[in-house]
Amino acid sequence: MKYSIYLLLIFIVGCSASKDTITARDYSKGIVYVLPGKVEFVLKSKLLDEEENIYFVLKRLNTSDFRIYLSKISSESSLKTWIDHTNRYVSVNGKLYPLIFDFDRDFANTETAKEFLLDQKAAIYKRTSIYVIREFTYHIDFTEKGDVLYEGI
C-alpha cells in the first residue's frame, strides 16, 4: 500500500513537471532578433504600459522596409500554439518577447512539430493555417537602417 502511494505521488509530480516544461520557454535554443535602435526605443516607450502577454509579428514590406506588429497574447487566440512554441524572440529593453513572421499564417501548420510528425507516420496529411486580421493593431514601419517611417494603428 505504501509503495502504491509513492508511485502515485511520483506520477502526479511527474505530470505537473512535464506541464510546466511545455509552457516554459527554453531560451537556450532560441534565435534573438535585435531591432534597430530607433525602433527599439519606440517599442520600449510603447511597452511601458503593457509588458506581459506580448508577442510581435515581423513582416517584410519590400527589399529594405519592414513592419513590426505589437500584439497581446489571448488565451483563445488560434495563434497561441505558434506563440507558445516559437524559438524566435525579439529583444526590447533587455527582455525577450515571442516573435512570429507574417508568412507563418501562409505556410506554418497549426499543429506542433510533434503532432505533425505523428500524423505523417499515420499517413495523415493535414494542411491547416490561420488567417489573422491586423487592421487595427499597433505597428511600426521602418527601414533596414532603422529609420521609422510610420508608427501607430
Q: List the grid coordinates of 144.
A: 533596414
Q: Where is pLDDT greater, at 3 or 142? A: 142
Comparing 42-46, 57-61, 114-118, 147-151, the range with the smallest average pLDDT is: 114-118
pLDDT the model gives residue 73: 82
pLDDT at 132 over 70: no
* Residue 92 CB contacts under 8 Å (≥ 6 apart), including other chains: 35, 40, 43, 44, 47
Asked if 92 and 44 count as a contact pair (C-beta separation under 8 A), the reply is yes
pLDDT at 140 over 50: yes
* Residue type for position 134: R
pLDDT the model gives residue 6: 39
pLDDT the model gives residue 61: 96
Q: Where is pLDDT greater, at 14 or 118? A: 118
pLDDT tens, residue by residue, 89-124: 999 999 999 999 988 877 877 777 888 889 888 888
pLDDT mean across residues, the chain: 79
SS3 category, 19: helix
Question: Residue 84 CB: number of other CB atoms within 10 A?
Answer: 14
pLDDT the model gives residue 15: 41
